[in-house]
Structure 1
Amino acid sequence: MSYPFKLQIRLSALPVPVPVITMASSSPTQLLLGLLLVLLASARAASVSLPALPLSTTSRWVVDADGRRVKLVCANWAAHLEPVAAEGLSRRGVGDIAARVAAMGFNCVRLTWPTYLATNATLSSLPLRWSLERLGLRESAAGVRVNNPDLLDLPLIDVFREVVSALSSNSIMVILDNQMTTPGWCCSRTDGNGFFGDKYFDPEEWLKGLSAMATMFRDTENVVGMSLRNELRGPYQNVSLWYRYMQQGAEAVHAANPNVLVILSGLDFDNSLSFLSPKQVKLSFTGKLVFEQHWYGFSDGTDWENWNQNDACGVAVESIRTKGLFLLQQGWPLFFSEIGFDMSGTHIADNRYLTCFLSVAAEMDLDWAVWALEGSYYIREGILAYDETYGLLTWDWYTARNPSLIERINSLQSPFQGPGLPSSHKPYNVIFHPLTGLCVLVESTNVLKLGPCHESNAWNYTSAHELVLKHTGQCLEAKSVGDTAKLGTGCSKSCSKWQLISDSGMHVSSEITKNGTRVCLEAGPDGVITTDQCKCLTEDPSCDPESQWFKVISSSRGIPGEASVLRLPSLGPWPPTSSSSR
């Protein structure tokens, strides 16, 4: 279902410079988007800055140096493929790419690297020009000469440093992710990079590489974390070796750079951390440990296509709960460092997965990272200029591939919960609609409508299953099938009792007659909330329940009217920020 109403955003928080629009390379649609960006950016009152660093952890939260929650909302930027350089440098200036990350509302980049970049001096000292030309990528080298001339003849390790520096200039935090040992596309079970002892995975060389990278960026403020290894996998994987080497890797990184978060991945392509439930890691330090987990639509097989959507979401959530989400309840930070989906919006399974993920991300207030930033690769699996359909950016890196997606995830780019938020000691509920990324607001006529979550009313979902508007004595009432949902004062009536039903737990349902007729909240195409017959509760895999999916979540954000913590996105296209590469 399409929703024609638009997210209303506060212009003062938009973190992008005023663009200069040129006619030569812009389509009418791009020109219109650019003009809108000019109007938005001209109203910008303040730029976004890095949090107080370094970061640390307290219970399940990542916090800044002042003890305030920092929500990691990241884009994955690949730099581990055969050229051993951050993708896109042939398309846009490195500073421009960093500005695009910030403009889309992200505060962090998970920047990948192969071990050989840190341990093989011949490779790390190779000029970027030569690295591209040895692979036959002369067109890419020519593109770098145009867009990043200062980088073309730098050694690969210095190009990597310049990328980190450009991100710092745009107040973007960096997590260094050791993706592979040998440069190349990740991952398969038999690529020799999967687990300790594999053909290309010598534990000693890996430890040497981690120490070298941690040391290299010890004084680089915006490098806030290091992910020890991506997607451990393959026939050699086992739990005992995981504990041995991951603990050694964590100690090596902390010894070289005690400022960074140390991020540990699990087994089975980072789908499982279940072995940690009975036995935690033992480290000499505290306050720096974070775990990471991956979740893609294909992680759940064909369930999203073949099952009823409520069933598929319920089963998928229970699976990730047993494989990793339990760590949050145990008081450990968990970072979903790769979530990904086809950005075209035409892949049914990915669309269904995404709505389910957003519901979990809102309910648990997860830290997360999208795969991927890049709209295309220099070369991937032998294909030149490979189009990344999972990419946030278009093939030419000019604008957002799916602008509506950027709007949809905006409400999840700022924390709902955690230390240091305005209402940390007096949390309340908001009613989140994952299909749109919006929340339920009460209009002056007591009609309910979807709107920006930073403008959400403060609700209280009571133990008696009432949805009470705080400080008013009014509660949500269901009148009849097809009627608009409104506030009333009959909070003890059955029509004011709201149960969370279906296997997804996202149908918010009430009983309107004594014979048991039930209705569910539904968001109409105009965003107005109605009460209608509950749909898709059966096993029909073709039924779409998402207009009736809501999550009642906890929030400690400031009540509307108070200072906002929302970091607002811009959809592009974005012009160059300067003529230089940084």
Structure 2
Amino acid sequence: MRLPTLLLSIAALTAAFPNTPFKTSKRNVVDSTGANFTYIGVNWPGAADVMIPEGLQYQSIASIVSKIKSLKMNVVRLTFAIEMIDDIKDNGGDVTIQKAFTKALGASKGETVWQQVVKNNPGFNTSTTRIQAFDAVAAELAKQEIYVHLDNHMSKGAWCCGGGDGNTWFGDTYFNADKWKRGLQYMADHGKQWPNLISIGLRNELRKPDKAGSSLAYNWQTWYTQVTSAADLVNAANPDIILFLSGLDYDTTLSPIPGAGDLGGGKKFQLSSFKYANKLALELHNYQNSATSCDSMKSGLYNNGFKALDASAANQMPVILTEFGFSQTDSSYNGVYASCLRKIIPEWDAGWTVWVLAGSYYIRSGTQDFEEAWGLLKHDWSGWRSSAAIAGLQAMIDASLK
């Protein structure tokens, strides 16, 4: 074989999608060829009352995915609720999406929205279930060569997050820790049929309940016990995917983890103690929209977890900013907060997924067809809400791709 032909063959091989499974290597996520992968993506909610990915009453899955692809994003953080798995395991099986709309929106409005969903997505029918809707989204993302990062957003399907929503902490009203672990296992195993599933977030925005109600103390010791036991089970269910560990206080801090600090009672997080150490990553959220100093933001992010990217960290690991965002209806895209993240996250070569794709929600906190001013897309998901904000985001994408 001549050299040019050989080089072309190698290039074709290494460029193949999906090049899974992925793993971690110190601060990096790498694919099966050893090439570094940076998460550059968006959040697509699917954990609210209906418990299917949002927006399907307005657009086809293919149309929505094509918009994500047009920005050169490479991953979607797809959220789900444990309640969906509880129904499958405990309540007679998964609910059809037709019934899910009726339950969440009422008989009349639910049927109307269901008919709109089917019109846009004719592959769905009266027997299509919620998990099959997730399958359809994952399949289209794979078709357009975009990866899936699953995220357990809530236990009970609803809008997230607040201190009084019953989903805050292990043992809270709706947060049954055993069912949570079972749900994670189920989704990790189910996701084996998705060739583009590369990772899963174990829990979104752990937070202190407004009122005492959990039998488990809100501290790092409880975090360690619950998160590591869940990680063991999920890794056993699907050893190919990377597990994202989130922190406390709405996932704004992982401060003791990079330096293997004391979690209480002499317990420390030691990456080297995990048999699947190359399948663990950290995630953080940041919503400092009122920030006035980028230097202060940078210092805070670093100390709250991003120092794990450094070779000097006792636990050097990838850190991904899985949520940040701002209004798409004003000049927030040009403010200190957005401009700072646009600068420092690519400089750190850290992955990210912006909140949020959704221009509207089926229902949010009791309001149907809720307008999402932070949504990258317009209310009807037909196009970008703000061309200026998207231009700023595109600059962040391009910087991260470099």
TM-score bracket, normalised by the shorter chain, equals 0.7 to 0.9
Following TM superposition, by how much is the alpha carbon of 1:284 offset from its aligned partner in structure 2, in angstroms?
Answer: 2.3
| Distance across 1 between alignment mates of 2:342 and 2:59 | 30
> CA separation in 2, counterparts of 1:209 and 1:87?
21
Contact 1:391–1:401 under 8 Å retained in 2: yes
2:331 counterpart (339, 342, 346)? 346
Partner of 2:300: 319
**Structure 1 residue 62 corresponds to structure 2 residue 29:** yes
Of 263, 268, 291 in structure 1, the residue corresponding to residue 244 of structure 2 is 263
Give the distance between the partners of 1:145 and 1:409, measured in 2 at CA.
32
Residues in 1 aligned to 2:371 and 2:42: alpha-carbon distance in whole angstroms: 17
Aligned equivalent of 2:100:
131
**What is the one-letter code of the residue matched to 2:243?**
V
Instruction: Confirm or deny: 8 A CA contact 1:377 1:384 kept in the other structure.
Output: yes
Amino acid at match of 1:378: Y
Alignment of 1:111-150 (within 5 A): 111-121=78-88, 122=91, 125-134=94-103, 135-136=105-106, 137-150=110-123
Moved over 6 A (4+): none
Q: CA deviation at 1:411?
A: 4.2
Q: CA deviation at 1:194?
A: 0.8
Q: Which runs of 5+ in 2 are unaligned?
A: 1-14, 210-216, 262-267
Deviations 1:475-506 (A, max 9, x none): xxxxxxxxxxxxxxxxxxxxxxxxxxxxxxxx
Q: Amino acid of the residue matched to residue 246 of structure 2? A: S
Partners of 2:173 and 2:59 in 1: CA distance? 36
8 Å CA contact 2:361–2:369 kept in 1: the answer is: yes
Question: Residue 264 of structure 1 contacts residue 292 of structure 1 at CA under 8 Å; is this kept in 2?
Answer: yes
Structure 1 residue 106 corresponds to structure 2 residue 106: no
Q: Which amino acid aligns with 2:96?
A: P
| Corresponding position of 2:275 | 284
CA contact (8 A) 1:297 1:340 kept: no
How far residue 51 of structure 1 moved from its aligned partner, in angstroms, is 4.4
The 2-side partners of 1:267 and 1:322 are apart by 14
SS in 2 for 1:171: coil
Q: Which residue of 1 aligns with 2:287?
A: 296
Give distance in 1, aligned partners of 2:135 and 2:218: 32
Kindly indicate whether the alpha-carbon contact (under 8 Å) linking 2:243 and 2:280 is maintained by their aligned counterparts in 1: yes
Q: Is the 8 A contact 2:166 2:172 kept in 1?
A: yes
2:255 aligns with 274
Distance 1:192 1:357 in 2: 31
Partner of 1:189: 163
Q: Are the aligned partners of 2:42 and 2:77 in contact in 1 as well (CA < 8 Å)?
A: yes
Match of 2:356 in 1: 372
Flag the structure with higher helix content: 2
Q: Cα distance, 1:152 vs. partner? A: 4.2
Assess if the C-alpha contact under 8 Å between 1:338 and 1:370 holds in 2.
Answer: yes
The structure with more radius of gyration:
1
Q: Secondary structure at the match of 2:360?
A: coil
Distance 2:295 2:399 in 1: 24
Mapped to 2, the partners of 1:403 and 1:124 lie a distance apart of: 43
What secondary structure, in the 3-state scheme, does the structure 2 residue paired with 1:356 have? helix
TM-score (norm 2): 0.85
Q: How many corresponding residue pairs?
A: 360
- Mapped to 1, the partners of 2:203 and 2:173 lie a distance apart of 16
How far did residue 117 of structure 1 move? 1.3
The separation in 1 between residues aligned to 2:288 and 2:304, in whole angstroms, is 16
Alignment-derived partner of residue 318 in structure 2: 333
Secondary structure at 2:195's aligned position in 1? coil
Q: Residues 289 and 63 (structure 1 numbering): CA distance in 2 closer, same or farther, change over 3 Å?
A: same
TM-score norm. by structure 1 comes to 0.59
- RMSD (CA atoms): 1.9
| 1:232 and 2:217 matched | no
1:126 CA drift (Å): 1.4
- Maintained 8 Å contact 1:114/1:180: yes
Distance 2:398 2:20 in 1: 18
Correspondence 1:388 to 2:372:
yes
Alignment partner of 1:80 is 2:80:
no
Please tell me whether the aligned partners of residues 318 and 350 of structure 2 are also in contact (alpha carbons under 8 angstroms).
Answer: no
Alpha-carbon distance, 1:219 to partner: 3.4
**Per the alignment, do residues 123 and 343 of structure 1 end up closer, same or farther by CA in structure 2, a change over 3 Å counting?**
farther
Q: Does the CA contact (< 8 Å) of 1:49 and 1:171 recur in 2?
A: no
1:333 Cα offset (Å): 0.3
In 2, Cα distance between the equivalents of 1:57 and 1:368? 16
Partner of 1:23: none
Q: Which runs of 5+ in 1 are unaligned?
A: 1-47, 417-564, 567-582
Question: Does the 8 Å contact 1:74/1:109 carry over to 2?
Answer: yes
Return the offset for 1:120. Answer: 1.8
In 1, Cα distance between equivalents of 2:185 and 2:283: 20
Q: 1:558-582 CA distances to partner (integer Å, 9 max, x unpaired)? A: xxxxxxx76xxxxxxxxxxxxxxxx
> Partner letter of residue 56 of structure 1?
K
Q: Which residue of 1 aligns with 2:175?
A: 201
Alignment deviations for residues 99-130 of structure 1 (CA, whole Å, 9 cap, x no partner): 11111221100000001212322485211111
Contact 2:343–2:396, Cα closer than 8 Å, also in 1: no
